[in-house]
Structure 1
Amino acid sequence: MLEAPCMVINSVLSAMAFNYPANKLSVYLSDDGGSDLTFYALLRASIFSKHWLPFCSRFNVQHRSPEPFFATQYSTTSNNTHYSQACLFIKKLYEEMKNEIESAVAKGKVPESYMRNEHVGFSEWNPKTTKQDHHPIVQIVIDGRDKDAVDEDGFQPPTLVYLSREKRPNYPHHFKAGAINALIRVSSEISNAPFILNLDCDMCSNNADTIKEVLCFFLDQTKGHDIAYVQFPQWFHNITKNDHYGNSCVVTNKFELAGISGYGAAMFCGTGCLHRRESLSGAYLRDYKAKWDFKSKTINNRTVHELNQASKALATCTYEEGTQWGKGRGWKSIYYNPERKAFVGVAPTTLDVAFVQHKRWSEGTFQIFLSKYCPFIYGHGKIHLGVQMGYCVYLLWAPMSLPFLCYVIVPPICLLHGIPLFPKLSSIWVLPFAYAFLATYGYSLCEYLSCGHPAKGWWNLQRIKLMHRTTSYFFGFIDTVTKQLGLSQTNFAITDKVVTEDVQTRYEQEVIDFGGSSNSIMLIILATVALLNLFGLVGGIKRILVDMEFSSSQFVVQIALSSLVAMINCMSC
């Protein structure tokens, strides 16, 4: 319900359609929800791929995800009659597939006729199957070795595999990391490709030649053998003109992550990353249960059923117990930001979804800082100090909410009580405060404008930063601390990527949508901060202009600060 099957298969289809030899490409869908509806959508997509892949190859399509491709004007308005007819035909097939999938999702069940006749894999589901309690499910949907499994042009498509790892209530599943571990093991049994690209369910390929480009790093004769992974920036295709939720991360992608890469490192973002398999599960791995061979496996003498059964043992929730699985060292990484965006995803379209996303990010990164893998401890002597500091800019999002909260709460309270916090304007000691403010925000504005975005977008970014620092990051800090103290358990809040027509309309009009009531406590904090600064501002001005109780220059900085906070929140309404 949160990650629509139609969106998921768009990402799958874009990955299948890379300009790359199909016999060397395998695509795996990890369904941690264990949904038969997602499996049904994947089966429907596998049929559609026999038309979509040849279409992309025939006309050299760059948008290899159907949904964004058909949303563009040029898809059916070409002077080439053959191309236009092909577009209309493939669009009709896509709409039929999409309608069938959405109809099944709306009804909450797979059509009975499809379950009985189309694929034996549906027998894996039973009434007791739940997303938190189910056996491992591995189904090879398209067998790339099958000479009869060809597309409409007679070419064999990539191998396509559905995986839902085992989950049991009494075993920790380690969320996304656990899912990726299961994928690594299962893929080693079926295809064992030396390189692994991982994508979120909403991220689609935007450049058909991305794999060929990025392999150049790994195949470099002098430095390629040291590279563990190449990380791409996260871009989104639904950013509005003024980016009123501050989703685009343009400065982060263009300057900050590139700066860390200058020291020979890249921050793994969880998606849009191509790993060398050897770095994840072999080069320095000890005491693992099986002997891993990183050459291509000879699997032609094994049936699909045999591969499915053999892979299930690798997707159990107890496989990693007592092993050194996931331990590795000695690799380097690269951040690669090509001129044409390699992958694009879906940005949050409501404020509450943005809150959930940033709370999860700040909480997860702060947990890393407090773990034994803290860059300043584990990375000491191993990575450059600049890399350690660059990582911690993000790892400390959560605790940095505390001093920020002080700045938006203490000054207005002191203003109401006539307590000065900053030097007078006539004092030389006001210069450090003025310099810190002007230099920080002036440089930030220049960076943002240099990325080709409007000044209003920068202002929106400052507004959303204030909101996150007083809500998302603060709650991420509280949750992390309580978990460290053993007072609560780790959870993983999935970002809702399903957008209704009303929400989409408000998003395109750049109207702040506060969403549902799931984050009402965060909205209460926002309202409290806004009102507190408004009252402090009014009270401070009244004391100066009406009561004449104190010198105005002594409180100018506090008045300016409260004015800025009140103005930012006023523009959010």
Structure 2
Amino acid sequence: MKTRIELAIAKGSISKETRNQHKGFSEWNCKVTKQDHQSIVQIIVDGRDTNAVDKEGCQLPTLVYMAREKRPGCPHNFKAGAMNALIRVSSVISNGPVILNLDCDMYANDGDAIREALCFLLDEKREHEIAFVQHPQRFDNICKNDLYANSYLVVNQVELAGIGSYDAALYCGTGCFHRRESLSGAKYPKDYRNINEAKNNDNRSVDELEKASKVLASCSYEKNTHWGKEMGLVYGCAAEDVVTGLTIQCRGWKSMYFKPNKPAFLGVAPVTLDIALVQMKRWSEGMFQIFLSKYCPFIYGHGKIKFGAQMGYCNYLLWAPLSLPTLFYVIVPPLCLGHGISLFPKVSSLWFIPFAYVFVAQNAYSICEALSCGHKLKSWWNLQRMLIIRRTTAFFFGFVDCIVKQMGLSQTAFAITAKMVTEDVMERYEQEMMEFGSSSVMFTIVATLAMLNLFSLIGGFIDIIFLDFGALGNLMCQIILCGLMVLVNVPIYEALFIRKDKGCMPFSVMFKSMFLASLACLLPYV
């Protein structure tokens, strides 16, 4: 099927023979493009047909292909719009009471996943109040030491599980089983129906069902309706999944977080730094947008969800502004160190103890938590590097873009995360070599901050050794901070000066980073 589609695209036309042979091509002509086409709904397998069986004679389920209508100038609302169209079309064709939402780069890894989810949705004591069951996002291509910190072991096992204990599990956009009525805008318990009551007794033919469904997938159908507001996934936010889960919970429903020992679903994690940061920028921007909107958990969720759940949501909604204190800590202390300016108490002072306690306790707890969740020490160290890189680049750009959009200076966009990579990129990923290879602004920031800390550490040591050795006690905290930044950025220095493969830092990035770092260090002397 994939080959036939690619051949048709390459030729730019579809022969009459191909049209007659494959029903799906009948909808396409030379005027149809990816962003300008009519609604397409085709029932590929009719589950009501007793002849629709697999090679072992088992009845096949209904299988439907849908492409919603897209027209220039008509907003299609990205993933949320596609999901809402699917909800409406499926209500006509099958009206299944449970909907599984799965991203296209994920696959089912456990045949019992549906049965296990139904144990929550059909539970005798609580089934009537559970809106959705969320599985953690897990991946099958994580390298040995999790180079880009994509496994989210602590997040999955501690943070999301903790929020789930407040009956407010986050809807993560994939690997989630929904109760149809809750996703369609029903309020609990006002509009509640038993899950067994939702049956589809439609006896219309396949052609009649397809014709009726196409109307539901058209651009004009949602006009003057509650879709995207009170029904379906919420529009206008890059993190449509998180805000939709919040609105469902604020309508009285509860949600469950379920992490089985065997992953129910597995996906593909980003294998290059650029892709990983683009994904993080979209997430951080979308979640901060929720915090600044009417859907802020402390306002929209007040009196509707527990305070602990509100705090849990904000742990993620405030990713973007977290970039500001992080940037301060990786810029100001090294600059002051380079000029002998002390920012922290002397090592001999009693006031040094609180700083030392916080630093040691936080990192000791972080290491213990990571090891208990399955991380290795090296993967924990990779996580620390990625936290700094994410906060100083992706989160910062997400913060700026969100503020600009709140001021009405730009519109919400949806950056699709590409997962396809070349063979040499995959080989470097398996060898745990960070992938750069482009002149991205984010890479320039990463390299500049790495060089700034290196220059400041060297300059600080030279001043202490040759000019004022007694200043060591005053500057110890800054030396430790800069030293750790230098250690954590070792792969950056390798990409700048040592590596010669295609994944190394381009010369333009090296030149700009050294110039900017040198300028920052010399600025007070100008």
TM over 0.5: yes
Tell me the residue number matched to 2:389.
467
1:423 Cα deviation after fit: 0.8
Give 1:359's match in structure 2, choosing from 270, 281, 288: 281
Superposition TM-score, scaled by structure 1 size? 0.78
Q: Structure 1 unaligned runs (5+)?
A: 1-39, 42-99, 286-292
**Partners in 2 of 1:271 and 1:207 — Cα distance?**
15
1:183 equivalent among 71, 74, 86: 86
Report how far residue 490 of structure 1 moved.
1.0
Change (3 A) 1:568 1:113: farther
Q: Which residue of 1 aligns with 2:217?
A: 315
The residue aligned with 1:117 is 20
Letter in 2 for 1:116: R
1:298 positional shift = 1.9
Q: Which amino acid aligns with 1:273?
A: C
C-alpha distance in structure 2 between counterparts of 1:468 and 1:181, whole Å: 31
Q: Within 2, Cα distance between the matches of 1:157 and 1:495?
A: 33
Q: Percent identity?
A: 60
Give the 3 Å change call, closer, same or farther, for CA 205–142 of structure 1 in structure 2: same
User: Secondary structure of the residue that 1:505 maps to in structure 2?
Assistant: helix
Q: Is the Cα contact below 8 Å between 1:104 and 1:111 reproduced in 2?
A: no
Match among 431, 446, 466 for residue 526 of structure 1: 446
Residues 297/382 of structure 1: CA separation in 2 closer, same or farther (3 Å cut): same
1:135 aligns with 2:38: yes
Q: Which residue of structure 2 aligns with residue 57 of structure 1?
A: none
- Structure 1 position 228 matched with structure 2 position 131: yes
Other structure's SS at 1:220 match: coil
Q: Deviations over 1:420-464 (max 9, x none)?
A: 111111112222222222222211111111123210010011111
Alignment of 1:68-147 (within 5 A): 100=3, 104=7, 107=10, 112=15, 115-147=18-50
Match of 1:275 in 2: 178
Cα deviation for residue 218 of structure 1 reads 1.1
Q: Of residues 113, 121, 124 in structure 2, which corresponds to 1:210?
A: 113
Counterpart Cα distance in 2 of 1:524 and 1:378: 39
Question: Corresponding residue for 1:563?
Answer: 483
Name the CA shift for 1:399/1:152 in 2 (closer, same or farther; >3 Å): same
State whether residues 153 and 374 of structure 2, in contact with CA within 8 Å, keep that contact through their aligned partners in structure 1: no
Output the amino acid matched with 1:219. L
Report the CA distance between 1:138 and its aligned residue. 1.0
Aligned counterparts of 2:5 and 2:454: Cα–Cα separation in 1: 47
Are the structure 2 counterparts of residues 398 and 114 from structure 1 closer, same or farther at C-alpha, using a change threshold of 3 Å?
farther
Structure-2 residue corresponding to 1:193: 96
Provide the C-alpha distance between the structure 2 equivalents of 1:550 and 1:166, rounded to a whole number of angstroms: 72
Q: Which moved more, 1:170-179 or 1:115-124?
A: 115-124
* Cα distance in structure 2, aligned partners of 1:339 and 1:537: 46
Output the aligned Cα RMSD.
Answer: 2.1
Work out whether 1:397 is the aligned partner of 2:313: no
Count of aligned positions: 467
Please say if 1:538 is aligned against 2:458.
yes
Matched, 1:254 2:174: no
Contact 2:147 2:379 in 1 (8 A): yes
Q: Retained in 2: the 8 A contact 1:192–1:294?
A: no
Post-superposition offset of 1:261: 1.1
Q: Which moved more, 1:398-407 or 1:436-445?
A: 436-445
Q: What is the 5 A alignment of 1:543-558?
A: 543-548=463-468, 551-558=471-478
Q: Contact 2:133–2:258 (CA<8 Å) still a contact in 1?
A: yes
- Asked if 1:161 corresponds to 2:64, the answer is yes
Alpha carbons of structure 1 residues 468 and 106: separation in structure 2 relative to 1, 3 Å: farther
Contact in 2 for aligned 1:104/1:110 (Cα 8 Å):
no
Between the aligned partners of 1:111 and 1:155, the Cα distance in structure 2 is 34
Q: Which moved more, 1:317-326 or 1:553-562?
A: 317-326
Whole-Å separation in 2 of the counterparts to 1:112 and 1:312:
25
Secondary structure of residue in 2 paired with 1:156: coil
| CA displacement at 1:108 relative to structure 2 | 7.0
- SS in structure 2 of the partner of residue 551 of structure 1: helix
Deviation at 1:278, TM superposition (A): 0.8
Residue number in structure 2 paired with 1:24: none
Cα deviation per residue 1:534-570 (whole Å; 9 max; x = unaligned)? 1111111111101117621110111111111122112
State the partner residue of 1:508.
Answer: 430
**Residues 1:417 and 2:319 aligned together:** no
